[in-house]
Structure 1
Amino acid sequence: MKRVYILLFGLVLLTTACDNDLDQVPPNIARSNSLKDFQGVLNAAYYYQIGSVTPMAVMGDFRADNAKMFESPYTEFDIYGPNLTAMDNQFFRPFYAAMYKAILSTNNVIENSSNATHVAEAKFLRALSYFKLVRVFGDVVVFTGTTPNIPDIPTYDLKRRPVADVYNNVIIPDLMAARDALSATRSSTGRATKYAAQGLLGKVYMQMGNFTLATPELAAVVNAAAAMGSSSTTQFHLRPTYAGVFGSTNDLNSEILFATQISSSIIDEYGFTEFWSWYLGQDTKSQSPVDPRLVSAYDNGDDRKSVNILQSGARIISPKYNQANGPNHDWIELRLADIILLYAEALNETTNASGLNSASILARLDPIRTRAGLTSLSGTALTQAAVRTAILNERRLELAFEGQRWFDLVRTGTVNAEMGVTIDSKYHLFPVPISEILATNGIITQNSGY
């Protein structure tokens, strides 16, 4: 168990005191029981989300039919076999470590802070971190208490908990608490809000396939945004143009429910090629990353195409995130268009078995399609199944290169149909970092197939 000590001791040290500025990396080490102000520890939980960004981008788009790798062993993303573990050091281990650092920081705030808003923000971040973990790995280890003292580490249960337990006992209760405690006003500094928590809760229910519970949460966000109106500077609404959602000059805009803030002034602990470079083909492993199947999926006149795709000679790249400004692009975790699409999907699953509501459900996509320069889909799909396909296609076009596609395919059970090949379901998940398995002498187990 010595390796367990090393693993958790490292996490203990990495989740302690910090500066009060989100642009700072935690510089100090202090025991939680010596702290009075947990603002810095909360800031650390926000900061550690940065370590998840590029791994989630690569897993979400390069594993799916939006982007491709060309250099071995990175081509394993498109092979769907046991050798994806070769990517452990660059993607899965940094992601895993960052999320547990965030979780242990949030636990510290939740258990010790007397500031109700800080506790609610910490619960949102803990739920977000666990949501990322279960979508990537399935069953995961759960820590919800205080950071352990070194002598107590052997008493901790390091076995992976079933996904359903993580949802029902951690993610959902945390998001409900955050939803009920946080402000409904959009934060100018990117803090978690009521609608970020409520939107994520709806997305979690959609991931679980519980459309009945998802519908009211998603509806609340969509309806609140509609009531606020597009002139509000302190509330959420769609941006007038698709291009206006992205780029460092548009960070924290009105459409963003929550984003992980990235700045060239912040030390980035992720030490590999970043998401903006991957999408732009700036890494030799994928110099023409955009999958031609995505190119052909866009209709003529779709304004989103020029934002997401650029033909550069023989190469097809995505200019969505400008390389020169790369280190200053925030990573969008959740935006209003995503919630609108999920809401339409939830309505289709709960109220449209006969297909009679198809037109009205597809009409809910009109603001998104009108912004893209397209006509309404209302009347083009008459059955529940056809509406389901139309919404999934719209999500692909709207959310391209935002790390969503693979997780949408897995969630909707359409991996084989959309990818055009039969992929064993055990490869819907990604490999648990080998370092975690070794550090716990096999108490943490590997996913099937790896």
Structure 2
Amino acid sequence: MKKLYIIILALTMSLVSCDQWLDIEPEYAQDAENFFNTEEDFQRAVIGVYDLMQTNYLQIWIGEIASDNSIAGGESVNDTQGLHEIDNMVHGGVNNELRDVMRFNYSGIARANFIFENQDKLDFPAKERLLAEVSFIRAYFYFTLVNYFGDMPLIVDRRISINEVTQVERTPKEQIYAQIEQDLDRAIEVLPWTNPEVGRITKGAAMALKGKVLLYQQKFSEAAQVLDELITTNQAGYALFTDMNNMWLAINQNTSEDVFTIQHSGLQGGDYGCLVCLQGNPAPGFHAIRNYVGPLYGDGNSYNLPTQNLYDFFGNDPRREVTILDLEAFIAAQPNPSDISFAIGGGGHTGYYNNKYIKRNDERGLPDDDLTSPLNYRAIRFADVLLMAAEAFAQTGNDSRARTELNKVRQRAGVPDITSSGTQLLEDIYSERRLELSGEGYRFWDLVRTGKAAEAISGFQVGKHELFPIPQVEIDLAGGRWSQNPGY
């Protein structure tokens, strides 16, 4: 395989065979063991770690489809069957999408560990900053894995040999969280608030992710402390983007609201056989309207369709139109509605589409624009930071501060302030997260961590569906040493 360096994902014995970032001239002139001899080598390897974050489309799909926010959709129930199984809460150990989550995140971890394994080969001024960026990204990969699967093998700062694969045990999630926090602390200590190269990880991104990690562990006091520091210090100038209605256009990316953003471009990189190879974001094309001919929007694959439940939840909140495209209403409002046409996929239809991540005619990538949207993935935006802070303050009895941060978000939306306290205030914050963040891939995790999944998700079984199953093929490749998650 043609690679800048060859990384074997020993845990899954899987190879990512996509030459996304670099061409090698001549081919095979370098291999893993004679790399890391120059600063440029380190810089290029770090780009390779960033690269694996571009599999974020899985976060958007699974985080929404597993919840009450959307259905799988698509051409048929056999079109990306794994998403339909997750939608219906009948997923098991054989599921391509869940296997991709595990493979892609461990591939990213392997790339990060390979850099740390060679960190002492060379010194140069930017090395500590680069290693801090990689620490953050490794923390992000492990945080994703522990949310999906719970206990997972923890490998740090080294590759493992093929002979070790069947000897690796699952590590208790508490130890994984400790490593995640350690990596994020390193990033917070070293990284600057801003970086002239757009898309690089910064101190603010590391603080925001640490706040989220602490919140997910119900370490509310610690979460409140780090999120308070981020909000009050804020040397990066984070702020809510004023024009909520146009915030999700490509021209309004990388603004003051973007704290941690995964960058995409309109370049191809891969195809349907290798979505991990893409440079563009495939989610907007997959979310777009099937066989659509009309103004503003492009045609696509009708995945991840918002539910009637979500549409009704908004009521008259103006964020409904920001979040959800009501296609029939949109068509009826056009000057020539009879000229507009579209098709309904056999995988389900609600009449609604994800209006945050959707293909628009003036935002098409090249050459297959179903796969190459230039829309970035806003992994953590400042509105999320404020709502996480509000939750952490409410959980620690500081209702006044919780209302302050919550109402900043509501004021931007143009809706009345919340005046509640105690248990009702917490419920209002949870509701606000759905109003503000739907369509972005957070909903399932919010329901699980707050204990509300069973009442919101049809078919959800307490004690089982809080975690996803370990892919059976990975259990087999590990020599059968790993027990499956409960209930699967």
TM-score tier (shorter): 0.7 to 0.9
Equivalent residue, structure 1, for 2:338: none
Residues 54 and 262 of structure 2 are in contact (CA less than 8 Å); yes or no, is this contact kept in structure 1?
A: yes
**Alpha-carbon separation, structure 2, partners of 1:315 and 1:275:** 18
After alignment, is 428-437 or 313-322 more displaced?
313-322
Residues 139 and 163 of structure 1 are in contact (CA less than 8 Å); yes or no, is this contact kept in structure 2?
A: yes
Q: Does 1:292 align with 2:308?
A: yes
**Alpha-carbon separation, structure 2, partners of 1:224 and 1:428:** 35
Equivalent residue, structure 2, for 1:30: 31
Q: Does 1:373 align with 2:414?
A: yes
Residues 195 and 221 of structure 1 are in contact (CA less than 8 Å); yes or no, is this contact kept in structure 2?
A: yes
Give the one of 321, 325, 334 matched to 1:306: 321
Give the one of 34, 43, 62 matched to 2:65: 62
Equivalent residue, structure 2, for 1:348: 394
**Alpha-carbon separation, structure 2, partners of 1:408 and 1:187:** 33
Per-residue CA deviations over 1:380-413 (Å, capped at 9, x if unaligned) read: x23x211111001101111111100000111111
Give the deviation of 1:133 after TM superposition: 0.6
Residues 45 and 102 of structure 1 are in contact (CA less than 8 Å); yes or no, is this contact kept in structure 2?
A: yes
Residues 153 and 169 of structure 2 are in contact (CA less than 8 Å); yes or no, is this contact kept in structure 1?
A: yes
Residues 183 and 193 of structure 1 are in contact (CA less than 8 Å); yes or no, is this contact kept in structure 2?
A: yes
Change (3 A) 1:7 1:239: closer
After alignment, is 440-449 or 67-76 more displaced?
67-76
After alignment, is 249-258 or 113-122 more displaced?
249-258
Equivalent residue, structure 2, for 1:317: 353
Q: Which amino acid aligns with 1:390?
A: D
Give the one of 456, 459, 463 matched to 1:425: 463
**Alpha-carbon separation, structure 1, partners of 2:446 and 2:23:** 35
Residues 426 and 449 of structure 1 are in contact (CA less than 8 Å); yes or no, is this contact kept in structure 2?
A: yes
Per-residue CA deviations over 1:167-216 (Å, capped at 9, x if unaligned) read: 01x10100001100000125542111111111111110000011011111
Change (3 A) 1:426 1:148: same
TM-score (normalizing by structure 2): 0.78
Change (3 A) 1:202 1:389: same
Give the one of 241, 244, 250 matched to 1:242: 244
Q: Which amino acid aligns with 1:154?
A: E
Residues 464 and 486 of structure 2 are in contact (CA less than 8 Å); yes or no, is this contact kept in structure 1?
A: yes
Equivalent residue, structure 2, for 1:364: 405
Equivalent residue, structure 2, for 1:438: 476
| 1:103-118 paired onto structure 2 within 5 Å | 103-113=109-119, 114=123, 115-118=127-130
Residues 245 and 253 of structure 1 are in contact (CA less than 8 Å); yes or no, is this contact kept in structure 2?
A: no
Residues 135 and 429 of structure 1 are in contact (CA less than 8 Å); yes or no, is this contact kept in structure 2?
A: yes
Give the deviation of 1:247 after TM superposition: 2.8
Q: Does 1:44 align with 2:44?
A: no
**Alpha-carbon separation, structure 2, partners of 1:43 and 1:415:** 37
Residues 42 and 122 of structure 1 are in contact (CA less than 8 Å); yes or no, is this contact kept in structure 2?
A: yes
Change (3 A) 1:408 1:32: farther
**Alpha-carbon separation, structure 1, partners of 2:9 and 2:202:** 33
**Alpha-carbon separation, structure 1, partners of 2:410 and 2:254:** 22
Residues 242 and 303 of structure 1 are in contact (CA less than 8 Å); yes or no, is this contact kept in structure 2?
A: no
SS at match of 2:260: strand
Give the deviation of 1:75 after TM superposition: 3.4
Q: Which amino acid aligns with 1:238?
A: L
Give the one of 235, 252, 255 matched to 2:254: 252
**Alpha-carbon separation, structure 2, partners of 1:10 and 1:428:** 23
SS at match of 2:352: strand
SS at match of 1:57: helix
Q: Which amino acid aligns with 1:93?
A: R
Give the deviation of 1:436 after TM superposition: 1.1
Change (3 A) 1:364 1:105: same
User: Structure 2: 5+ residue runs without aligned partners?
Assistant: 1-6, 292-299, 329-349, 364-371
TM-score (normalizing by structure 1): 0.84
Residues 68 and 286 of structure 1 are in contact (CA less than 8 Å); yes or no, is this contact kept in structure 2?
A: no
Equivalent residue, structure 2, for 1:222: 231
User: Structure 1: 5+ residue runs without aligned partners?
Assistant: 229-233
Q: Does 1:173 align with 2:182?
A: yes
Equivalent residue, structure 2, for 1:397: 435
Give the deviation of 1:45 after TM superposition: 0.6
Give the one of 102, 113, 119 matched to 1:96: 102
SS at match of 2:461: coil
Residues 142 and 161 of structure 1 are in contact (CA less than 8 Å); yes or no, is this contact kept in structure 2?
A: yes
Give the deviation of 1:95 after TM superposition: 1.9
Q: Does 1:270 align with 2:271?
A: no
Change (3 A) 1:26 1:350: farther
After alignment, is 26-35 or 309-318 more displaced?
26-35
Equivalent residue, structure 2, for 1:231: none
Change (3 A) 1:187 1:143: farther
Give the one of 179, 185, 205 matched to 1:196: 205
SS at match of 1:365: helix
Residues 184 and 194 of structure 1 are in contact (CA less than 8 Å); yes or no, is this contact kept in structure 2?
A: yes
